[in-house]
Amino acid sequence: MKKILTIILTILLLNILLVGCSGEETTNNEVGLNEVVTLGDYEVTVTKFELVKDSEGRSVIKLYYDWTNNSKKTQAPYITVNFKAFQNDVKIAESLFSEDIDLGLGQKEASPGTTLTGLEDGFLLNDTQNIVEIEIKELMSFNSEPYILKVNPSEL
């Protein structure tokens, strides 16, 4: 009886592993421009993209977003939401030195129920021809899948 139970459990475990390694990707988390994304107690809406230059003349994709604090305490966007960007499947750096991007806007604290609009972030581009995938994720969450927003810099 123990041998049969061991075989059944082994088969179940192998099925779980095979399903987990099937290589199929889901795109359920893909969002569009002006689509509200709920990240825990916060809402983020990317409203616009723009192509700008950094202080060294490199191309930067600038994103504008709105952020709503639905938590019960005062918070700032920069400690609740995380943006990452990828181009050609490689993470690209955040643009910290562009006069066209005011990262300080996302450092303002907001009371519960408050929405901050026109916040800004930006990423250095490898080129202006290939699609950029922006990942949007709650900063303090380790188990949620990011939302993905795709943009083609050549169309900006």
d(CA 66, CA 36): 9
Taking only the tens of pLDDT, the chain with its 156 residues reads: 444 434 444 444 444 433 444 344 445 799 999 999 999 999 999 999 999 999 999 999 999 999 999 999 999 999 999 999 999 999 999 998 889 999 999 999 999 999 999 999 999 999 999 999 999 999 988 777 999 999 999 999
Nearest to 106 by CA among 132, 133, 80: 80
CB 151 within 8 A of CB 49: yes
110: CB partners within 8 A, 6+ apart: 67, 69, 74, 75, 76, 77, 116
d(CA 67, CA 15): 42
> Which domains does the chain carry?
26-155 (2.60.40.1240)
